[in-house]
Structure 1
């Protein structure tokens, strides 16, 4: 059966999107590359956009989700914190629970949809 329900869960903090699918992907890319700029390139976004997403995440949570060090002569880099890994994991668990719920709902309507 095709997925008729498209879900995009976002965690809001006031007017900011504290966490969502794009931020989860960005954390994945930062974790695999060790760098915000390399993660941005991997995801096809500007460094500024990636940095703004990281800044929003770090402001919205009590603990930062990403620690970064400025570049320069001695390098730099970024790392996903334990809090970042924990939030990303819980978010993915929520996404799966929502997908399971949507699949059950679709199955209950299977005979009613074209």
Structure 2
């Protein structure tokens, strides 16, 4: 009986000054904010505190020099992604998928065992 195929696993992120600027967690947070229209709901969905989620947003904004979120209306009406926030989410999602596909293709070419 043969072994199951090996799996390609990798994590990709962007750094600035040796510090993470944007990665999977950042993209997941923006995706949840986009779907829920609320930072609090996004934080709950991801098992984070509101304070941790807000801190992460502020860290990313500081690294990028622009806002990721815009208020939807009044004080308690939630958030939507800014144009930069939307572009970062789309770009990261596409980039991560393409990097994974390239890594899988290369692994299949290089290794003498099945890789999925």
TM tier relative to shorter chain: 0.7 to 0.9
Q: Which residues in structure 2 correspond to 1:3-14 (within 5 Å)?
A: 3-14=6-17
Q: Taking structure 2 as the reference length, what is the TM-score of the superposition?
A: 0.81
In the TM superposition, what are the counterparts of 1:1-114 in structure 2 within 5 Å?
2-68=5-71, 74-112=75-113
1:104: how far off? 1.1
Following superposition, which runs of at least 4 residues in structure 1 exceed 4 angstroms of deviation? Answer: none
Q: Deviations over 1:39-74 (max 9, x none)?
A: 1001111111111110111111132112358x8xx5
Q: 1:94: how far off?
A: 1.3
Across the aligned residues of Structure 1 and Structure 2, the Cα RMSD in angstroms comes to 2.4
With over 3 angstroms needed to count, the CA separation of the structure-2 counterparts of 1:53 and 1:2, relative to structure 1, is: farther
After superposition, the Cα gap between the structure-2 partners of 1:100 and 1:3, relative to the gap in structure 1 and judged at 3 Å, is farther
1:2 positional shift: 3.9
Query: Match of 1:45, SS?
Result: coil
Segments of 5+ residues of structure 1 without an aligned counterpart are none
* Alignment gaps of 5+ in structure 2: none
C-alpha change, 1:13 and 1:109, in structure 2 (3 Å) is: same
